[in-house]
Amino acid sequence: MSVGPTDPISGPTATATATATPGPPSGPSTRPLRIGNASGFYGDRFDAMREMLTGGPLDVLTGDYLAELTMLILGRDRLKNPAGGYARTFLRQLEECLGLAHERGVRIVANAGGLNPAGLADAVRELAERLGIAARVAHVEGDDLTARCPGPGNLAAHAYLGGAGIAACLREGADIVVTGRVTDAALVTGPAVAHFGWAPDAYDRLAGAVVAGHVLECGTQATGGNYAFFAEHDPARLHHPGFPVAELHEDGTSVITKHDGTGGVVDIGTVTAQLLYETSGARYAGPDVTARLDSVRLTQEGPDRVRIGGVRGGSVRGEAPPPTLKVGLNRLGGFRNEVVFVLTGLDIEAKAAFVRAQLEAALMAAKSRPTEIRWELARTDRADAPTEETASALLRLVVRDPDQDAVGRTLSGAAIELALGSYPGFHVLAPPGKGAPYGVFEDVYVPHVDVDHVAVLHDGRRIPVAPARDTLVLQPLAPSEEPPLPEPLPAGSAVRRAPLGLVAGARSGDKGGNANVGVWVRTDDAWRWLAHTLTTDRFRELLPEAADLTVVRHVLPDLRALNFVVEGILGEGVAAQHRFDPQAKALGEWLRSRHLDIPEVLL
């Protein structure tokens, strides 16, 4: 915790005892701000907070604990315990690390408050008192709109707030700021605004902070985790990647790095991969600013150091935020159940058709037939297999219904009764249970002025956060703004049938019921080929599950990248578990495995 003379949110310039009370912050600074991340999701590496606090210098340590699915989980937790609803892991991490943060003058900003930031702030204060550490704990509230969104099964409705509330807490001397649902990037824009004193319309600078925050938000995905070209690096280097750090400058530019001596790698590829993750077009909208991803430039500045800059003298171009805030609405959608039949040896297709017909007839005859029935045959078998497991395929049945009995008792009875009267070798991976509730995620939007964004300080004072004064309705790029494609490679080049992944990297993820797939290459010639080859029609050909869906392509030439949004492929969102891969985490890797004609000069 900070003591003695300070920058707005920088570390101490004098040593303090454990009971010292931090002084008020001073005015804005131009000194670079060093922000680290210690969590990309609720359940991330527990020791990361300690590793980041002991691994090197930091001004601010952030933690992202929330996702669409997490809000549903916390909502169900709070039904059982109204005092809960926050990420308890964060509290346990602080129990080990609050003293370290205090000694090093590192402020902590985390969205671990979930559905109950006030409750978590109180719990952190009690912890600090028990440990004998003087810590100013503040929280941000106003995102909870659940009471305004009544409806059957509604568990939580939360607006995605920006960083202004966090900044207000830090300007008033907070050492720890916990929030509920803010944008992931707000964990960086808030400290940056407090430190540099940026005005709300400093859009270029804010956009730079948003881009840096987007790179940091998923933790080790920026330092070699989940990386398409992992096989090009020493495996030992990637086994325990360090968490990322952003050195943010007053002009909005930044350098992405990590603590010296930690595992992982930071290069243009790892940063590009994270920039493309869970975004869509060139305009990346948020409550603080709309960042223009088509203006981002990446430069390898040294080992494990990538500079993020752009146009206009090195800043990242930004625009006013949209007039509305996104609200994530989580509700119970009903009940689901599944059973996986194991089909071994010969006649796999015939066995699948046989048991499917049997089971569907039994379900049709039942009093409560599930309203949704989905089958998927995964041909994991191989001919003349050396083990029984590799000789087997998996037939997966998923059912959904508002009535738990329809997916529980009805399914379990129909499936298990076939045990001695179905295909040869009949068995299942596990008997179906009684069915479990599933959630549905929806996006709705409300005007900024309809949300009471408030910074609640350690002394109980409440500082209202004004809504955005200037806004700009989010628009796709106009034809005049669309970036030109590069010249194609010369016609007639020799080609070879090969996987796309030999040339291109990819990273994919979920946005509600949509999936995004970012694809990038590492040379200009590869970009000349990719930009003209991987059209939306070719994308659908390579991924037949998208054949009947709307696919939108966005071009980001300065990253040598394409970003595809596949609308509706995830149904009602991750909590509904519509697909085998409900968050589309591996959709990009499936795309990379698909074969097409690639110029030999690129291979």
Banded pLDDT at 19 (limits 50, 70, 90):
very low
Q: What is the pLDDT of residue 280?
A: 85
DSSP secondary structure, 370-431, as one string: -SEEEEEEE----TT-SSTGGGEEEEEEEEEESSHHHHTHHHHHHHHTTTTSSSTT-EESS-
Which residue, 85, 148, 95, is CA-closest to 118? 85
Residues constituting the chain: 603
What is the b/e burial string over 65-78, where b = at least 16 CB atoms within 10 angstroms of the residue's CB?
A: bbbbbbbbbbbbbb
> How many Å apart are CA 524 and CA 558, to the nearest integer?
10
Three-class DSSP category at 258:
strand
The per-residue pLDDT of the chain, averaged, comes to 92
Q: What is the pLDDT of residue 155?
A: 87
Range with the poorest average pLDDT among 7-11, 220-224, 327-331, 386-390: 7-11
The angle formed by the CA atoms of residues 438, 440 and 443, to the nearest 5 degrees, is 165
Q: What is the pLDDT of residue 228?
A: 97
Q: For 506-549, write each residue's pLDDT tens digit.
A: 999 998 899 999 999 999 999 999 999 999 999 999 999 999 99
Roughly how many angstroms between the first and final C-alpha of the chain, as a whole number? Answer: 53
In the block, which residue shows the tokens 């590793």? 51
Q: For 573-601, write each residue's pLDDT tens digit.
A: 887 788 889 999 999 999 999 999 999 99
Q: What is the mean pLDDT of residues 165-180?
A: 98
Whether residue 460 has pLDDT greater than 90: yes
The angle formed by the CA atoms of residues 509, 61 and 315, to the nearest 5 degrees, is 70
Work out whether strand 297-302 and strand 305-309 pair parallel, antiparallel, or are unpaired: antiparallel
Banded pLDDT at 183 (limits 50, 70, 90):
very high
Q: For 264-300, write each residue's pLDDT tens digit.
A: 999 999 999 999 999 988 999 999 999 999 999 999 9
Share of the chain above pLDDT 90, in %: 81
> How many Å apart are CA 577 and CA 76, to the nearest integer?
17
In the block, which residue shows the tokens 């054949």? 547
Do 516 and 476 contact (CB within 8 A), yes or no? no
Which residue, 89, 241, 251, 248, is CA-closest to 178? 89
> How many Å apart are CA 296 and CA 250, to the nearest integer?
17
Q: For 540-556, write each residue's pLDDT tens digit.
A: 999 999 999 999 999 99
Q: What is the pLDDT of residue 479?
A: 83
Q: What is the pLDDT of residue 544?
A: 96
